[in-house]
Amino acid sequence: MAALPLSWSFTTTTTSAPFVTRPSRMLIDAKRSDRFQVSCEQNQTGSTRSDEISHGKFDRRNVLLGMGGLFSAANLVSASSTFATPLEAPDFTKCSKGTNLNTGQPLDVDCCPPVTTEIIDYKLPPVTKMRFRPAAHLATKEYVAKYEKAVELMKALPADDPRNFMQQANVHCAYCNLTYDQVGDSDLKIQVHNSWHFYPWHRWYLYFYERILGKLIDDPTFGLPFWNWDNPKGMVMPAMFVNTSSSLFNARRNQIHLPPAATDLAYFGTQSVDTTQIISNNLTVMYNEMVRNVQTLEDFYGAKYNTGTQPDPGPGTVERGSHTALHVWVGEATSTGEDMGNFYSAGREPLFFSHHTNVDRLWTIWRDLRGSKAKDFVDSDWLNASYLFYDENAQLVRVKVADTLDNIKMGYEFQKVDTPWLKSRPVARAKKSKIASTTAAPSVDSIFPVKLDKVVKVLVPRPKKSRSKKDKENEEELLVIEGIEVDTAIFVKFDVFVNDEDDDPNTLDKAEYAGCFSLVPHKNSILSKTKIRLGLSELLEDLDVEDDENILVSLVPKAGGDNVTIGGIKIIYSS
């Protein structure tokens, strides 16, 4: 393939992109403390959420209605869309490796993709043949041979072909290593992790990667294998990736974790428990991430992140837990964790794509589990968010989140396998514990902010107690750990326990384990301030302490605690 031009201007072919007026800078600049912030948060009924509205933060519709009568109630819907700020696809011409945003030092990695003179708005093609994604540990020899050949051909493409394996790896690097400016705000970067972009962006990424491979081997039914690490039968590195003569092999892996080592979904840099405990922990981790902690959309998808706001507003359960753990578990046992264990190089690891295919599968499973409940955000800021990818024909295309909500409409399906974590609801080690009333731990208003260089125990008041079944159906009780300040260049992880009396940080298969926060390291780093939300309603039922006025929360640093500061902890109620 001939080299693509390096200097050019975009010619955009638009088929269905809606007209959206860019909002005022005053309204979108979240970094200036002397200007108010506009909130567009709504609950599933369309009413404004009030669970986390703070001083100086107003709902956008209230602002519109109060602007001297400029906007009538009849114009509210159109006015609201005018002020929408969905994340826009970046300008590839402004991609630069630049300098580390945290240290100011030059970056030694260039993720910038090839450029072309035309972008088209992508439309999902009609599905004539469904692509089939098998479980990696169940794949046939014929399938493995086909997959190896496809990746071999991808690696053999010219270096400047955007479908080349390294160019595909650079796609992840560019979107995840703070390479692009937000459109219209050069002071802020694009980061598709740790927010509600995590699932849709990676779904599109896998979609085109899969289609490129299928075209190279002339097989329209080819689908990527998923690493079934949420099932004990798949909790080992898949054999197809371990053959040293295969195109799927990568030498930059932690050699201790080659088969038959059990994958650790709570990995923090070391494994100090036996295989039986790891598997039991894993099932509890999956239950928490897929059932207990995800009664609200934000808790599964991650926090809202639009143009004009800082990256890393808050990851969802799977992203900050099992997803991160396996990135680091696979990567080299070094401080930077290449390839899989660092965002900039993760796409260079063939196993990455099977790892994320399973994450994509879990998204489908979670939506199915919700049944008649609202399955996705209805916010235009999410649905109209856009990204750029190269398709199987090396055409640069613009895609939207709205087209990712049904994998069947995208033309692929997953092999059906058991989900044993659905039956792994953990039990309490100590029911009706009195530890919250007898502890000498400080209260929340006396210790924050606090550095997490040791275990931190704190007594957290519950604004509501003895809630009825209807109350719990209408509102989830959530533990919010906020103001989590970290240097994103460093792997960090801490676990959260509630009313935990045995204080064994490596035993997670108990109701007292509430969840975790962890972060895959970045090559290009920032000092990030983020938050997590952990579901309490079911946990407090299992502990039988729903009448208690306080709970004892333990924050247990597992990795990088010296690099973590916690700003505060509180309990809220959210529908």
Q: Residues within the annotated binding site?
A: 172, 193, 202, 323, 327, 356
* Catalytically active residues, by annotation: 172, 193, 202, 323, 327, 343, 356
Cα separations in angstroms, 402 against 15, 125, 340 = 15, 15, 29
CA distance 108 to 271: 32
Burial of residue 511, with CB atoms counted within 10 A of its CB: 0-12 exposed, 13-18 middle, 19 or more buried: buried
The whole-angstrom distance between residue 526's C-alpha and the CA centroid of its chain comes to: 17
Of residues 499, 530, 525, the one with CA closest to residue 512: 499
Two tokens, residue 298: 């934000």
Q: Is the distance from CB of 546 to CB of 466 less than 8 angstroms?
A: yes
Query: What's the token pair of residue 316?
Result: 């969802």
| Beta pairing, strands 550-559 & 396-400 | unpaired
Distances (CA, A) of 127 to 122, 133, 349, 409, 416: 15, 15, 30, 7, 20
Round to whole Å and give the CA distance between 26 and 242: 53
Cα 441 to Cα 60, 509, 512, 513, 550: the distances in Å are: 40, 24, 17, 18, 12
**DSSP tag of 420:** G
H helices within 121-196, ranges in order?
Answer: 141-156, 165-176
CA angle 354–358–364, rounded 5-degree value? 140
Nearest one of 508, 504, 524, 528 to 516, comparing CA atoms: 508
Say if residues 481 and 517 touch (Cβ distance below 8 Å): yes
Helix (H/G/I), strand (E/B), else coil: 419? coil
DSSP letter (8 states) at residue 89: P
Helix (H) or strand (E) holding 534: strand 527-535
Report yes or no: 441 and 457 within 8 Å, Cβ to Cβ: yes
Cα angle 171, 328, 231 (rounded to 5 degrees) comes to 100
User: Closest by alpha carbon to 227, among 324, 340, 356?
Assistant: 356
Judge residue 186's burial from the number of C-beta atoms within 10 Å of its C-beta, 0-12 exposed, 13-18 middle, 19 or more buried. exposed
